[in-house]
Protein backbone atom coordinates (compact mmCIF):
# COMPACT_ATOMS: atom_id res chain seq x y z
CA UNK A 1 0.00 0.00 0.00
CA UNK A 2 1.00 3.60 -0.59
CA UNK A 3 -0.09 6.40 1.73
CA UNK A 4 0.16 10.20 1.73
CA UNK A 5 0.24 12.55 4.69
CA UNK A 6 1.33 16.09 5.45
CA UNK A 7 2.12 18.53 8.23
CA UNK A 8 2.39 16.42 11.37
CA UNK A 9 4.58 19.14 12.95
CA UNK A 10 6.07 16.85 15.61
CA UNK A 11 7.36 18.83 18.61
CA UNK A 12 5.64 22.05 17.44
CA UNK A 13 3.77 23.30 20.48
CA UNK A 14 2.11 26.28 18.80
CA UNK A 15 0.58 24.24 15.94
CA UNK A 16 -1.92 22.88 18.47
CA UNK A 17 -3.26 26.39 19.01
CA UNK A 18 -2.82 27.65 15.43
CA UNK A 19 -4.85 24.84 13.88
CA UNK A 20 -7.05 23.97 16.85
CA UNK A 21 -5.71 20.43 17.14
CA UNK A 22 -7.50 18.27 19.73
CA UNK A 23 -4.43 17.66 21.89
CA UNK A 24 -3.55 19.14 25.29
CA UNK A 25 0.20 19.30 24.64
CA UNK A 26 3.05 18.24 22.35
CA UNK A 27 3.58 14.92 24.11
CA UNK A 28 -0.05 13.91 23.62
CA UNK A 29 -0.01 15.11 20.00
CA UNK A 30 3.20 13.24 19.14
CA UNK A 31 1.97 10.07 20.82
CA UNK A 32 -1.44 10.16 19.13
CA UNK A 33 0.03 10.92 15.69
CA UNK A 34 2.39 7.93 16.01
CA UNK A 35 -0.43 5.69 17.23
CA UNK A 36 -2.77 6.64 14.37
CA UNK A 37 0.04 6.23 11.86
CA UNK A 38 0.95 2.74 13.07
CA UNK A 39 -2.70 1.67 13.27
CA UNK A 40 -2.97 2.57 9.55
CA UNK A 41 0.43 1.80 8.00
CA UNK A 42 2.18 -1.59 8.02
CA UNK A 43 5.94 -2.11 8.01
CA UNK A 44 5.82 -2.98 4.27
CA UNK A 45 3.86 0.11 3.18
CA UNK A 46 5.28 3.26 1.60
CA UNK A 47 4.33 6.71 2.90
CA UNK A 48 4.93 10.05 1.23
CA UNK A 49 5.10 12.82 3.83
CA UNK A 50 4.39 16.06 2.00
CA UNK A 51 6.38 18.29 4.30
CA UNK A 52 6.60 19.92 7.70
CA UNK A 53 7.51 16.75 9.51
CA UNK A 54 8.81 18.14 12.77
CA UNK A 55 10.49 20.82 14.83
CA UNK A 56 12.69 18.76 17.12
CA UNK A 57 16.41 18.24 17.11
CA UNK A 58 17.97 15.39 15.15
CA UNK A 59 17.78 12.88 18.01
CA UNK A 60 14.08 13.65 18.51
CA UNK A 61 13.37 13.32 14.78
CA UNK A 62 15.32 10.03 14.58
CA UNK A 63 13.30 8.70 17.50
CA UNK A 64 9.98 9.64 15.85
CA UNK A 65 10.95 8.18 12.45
CA UNK A 66 12.18 4.97 14.10
CA UNK A 67 8.77 4.46 15.70
CA UNK A 68 6.79 4.86 12.45
CA UNK A 69 5.89 1.87 10.26
CA UNK A 70 6.76 1.76 6.58
CA UNK A 71 9.23 3.13 4.08
CA UNK A 72 8.96 6.88 4.48
CA UNK A 73 9.66 9.42 1.75
CA UNK A 74 9.86 13.07 2.80
CA UNK A 75 9.08 15.79 0.30
CA UNK A 76 10.47 18.77 2.16
CA UNK A 77 8.14 21.54 3.27
CA UNK A 78 8.84 25.14 4.20
CA UNK A 79 9.66 24.24 7.82
CA UNK A 80 11.82 21.24 6.83
CA UNK A 81 14.09 23.48 4.75
CA UNK A 82 15.80 24.79 7.88
CA UNK A 83 17.77 21.53 7.64
CA UNK A 84 19.39 19.83 4.65
CA UNK A 85 18.09 16.79 2.80
CA UNK A 86 21.14 14.95 4.15
CA UNK A 87 20.15 15.87 7.72
CA UNK A 88 16.66 14.44 7.15
CA UNK A 89 18.05 11.25 5.58
CA UNK A 90 20.20 10.83 8.68
CA UNK A 91 16.96 10.94 10.69
CA UNK A 92 15.93 7.71 8.98
CA UNK A 93 13.85 8.69 5.95
CA UNK A 94 14.06 6.22 3.07
CA UNK A 95 14.26 9.09 0.56
CA UNK A 96 14.14 12.89 0.78
CA UNK A 97 13.19 15.26 -2.04
CA UNK A 98 13.70 18.99 -1.88
CA UNK A 99 11.18 19.49 -4.68
CA UNK A 100 7.71 18.29 -5.70
CA UNK A 101 7.61 15.01 -7.58
CA UNK A 102 5.33 13.65 -10.28
CA UNK A 103 4.01 10.27 -9.20
CA UNK A 104 2.43 7.74 -11.58
CA UNK A 105 2.66 10.28 -14.44
CA UNK A 106 -0.39 12.24 -13.24
CA UNK A 107 -0.12 13.26 -9.59
CA UNK A 108 2.06 16.12 -8.39
CA UNK A 109 3.08 15.49 -4.79
CA UNK A 110 4.16 18.74 -3.16
CA UNK A 111 4.16 20.50 0.16
CA UNK A 112 2.62 23.78 -0.95
CA UNK A 113 -0.03 23.81 -3.68
CA UNK A 114 1.46 24.43 -7.12
CA UNK A 115 -0.28 26.49 -9.79
CA UNK A 116 -2.78 24.34 -11.69
CA UNK A 117 -5.34 25.09 -14.42
CA UNK A 118 -7.55 23.25 -16.89
CA UNK A 119 -4.71 23.01 -19.44
CA UNK A 120 -2.55 20.96 -17.11
CA UNK A 121 -3.03 17.17 -17.03
CA UNK A 122 -2.25 16.75 -13.33
CA UNK A 123 -3.81 16.56 -9.90
CA UNK A 124 -1.85 18.25 -7.11
CA UNK A 125 -1.79 16.37 -3.80
CA UNK A 126 -0.37 18.73 -1.22
CA UNK A 127 -0.29 19.87 2.38
CA UNK A 128 0.65 23.24 3.92
CA UNK A 129 -2.90 24.63 3.99
CA UNK A 130 -3.95 22.67 7.12
CA UNK A 131 -7.76 23.24 7.26
CA UNK A 132 -8.16 24.99 3.90
CA UNK A 133 -9.48 23.10 0.86
CA UNK A 134 -8.78 24.36 -2.62
CA UNK A 135 -10.43 23.69 -5.98
CA UNK A 136 -11.24 19.98 -5.82
CA UNK A 137 -10.75 19.57 -9.58
CA UNK A 138 -7.03 20.27 -9.29
CA UNK A 139 -6.02 19.92 -5.63
CA UNK A 140 -6.29 17.50 -2.72
CA UNK A 141 -5.13 18.69 0.71
CA UNK A 142 -3.73 15.87 2.88
CA UNK A 143 -2.71 17.97 5.88
CA UNK A 144 -3.30 15.97 9.05
CA UNK A 145 -6.22 18.20 9.99
CA UNK A 146 -8.02 16.94 6.85
CA UNK A 147 -7.15 13.24 7.33
CA UNK A 148 -8.11 12.57 10.94
CA UNK A 149 -4.43 12.88 11.87
CA UNK A 150 -3.38 9.71 10.02
CA UNK A 151 -1.99 8.82 6.59
CA UNK A 152 -4.55 8.15 3.87
CA UNK A 153 -4.44 5.46 1.21
CA UNK A 154 -3.21 6.91 -2.06
CA UNK A 155 -5.45 4.65 -4.17
CA UNK A 156 -8.57 5.49 -2.17
CA UNK A 157 -7.73 9.18 -2.22
CA UNK A 158 -7.36 9.36 -6.00
CA UNK A 159 -10.03 6.84 -6.99
CA UNK A 160 -12.33 9.58 -8.28
CA UNK A 161 -9.50 11.47 -9.96
CA UNK A 162 -7.62 8.72 -11.79
CA UNK A 163 -7.32 10.02 -15.32
CA UNK A 164 -4.53 7.75 -16.47
CA UNK A 165 -5.25 5.96 -19.71
CA UNK A 166 -6.57 2.43 -19.32
Confirm whether 117 is domain-assigned.
yes
pLDDT tens, position by position, 12-21: 999 999 999 9
Query: Whole-angstrom Cα distance, residue 98 to residue 27?
Result: 28
Confirm whether 106 is domain-assigned.
yes
Least confident of 1-10, 57-66, 97-106, 129-138: 129-138
pLDDT tens, position by position, 109-125: 999 999 877 787 888 99
Confirm whether 76 is domain-assigned.
yes
**Which pTM does this prediction carry?**
0.92
**Residues paired with residue 71 on neighbouring β-strands, in sequence order:** 46
pLDDT at site 131: 81
Check which CATH number belongs to the domain holding 129 and give it.
3.60.21.10
Confirm whether 163 is domain-assigned.
no
Characterize the bridge pairing of strands 139-141 and 152-153.
unpaired
pLDDT band at 162 (very low <50, low <70, confident <90, very high): low
Domain count, the chain: 1
**Which residue range is the domain that position 105 belongs to?**
2-158
Confirm whether 164 is domain-assigned.
no
Q: What percent of the chain has pLDDT over 90?
A: 80
Confirm whether 165 is domain-assigned.
no
Query: Whole-angstrom Cα distance, residue 42 to residue 45?
Result: 5
pLDDT reading at 3 higher than 60: yes
pLDDT at site 165: 43
Amino acid sequence: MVYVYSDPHYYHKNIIKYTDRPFKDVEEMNSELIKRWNNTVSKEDKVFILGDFGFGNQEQMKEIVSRLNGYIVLIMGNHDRHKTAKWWRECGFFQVSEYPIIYRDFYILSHEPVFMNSHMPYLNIHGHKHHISMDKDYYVNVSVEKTDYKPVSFDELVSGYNMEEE
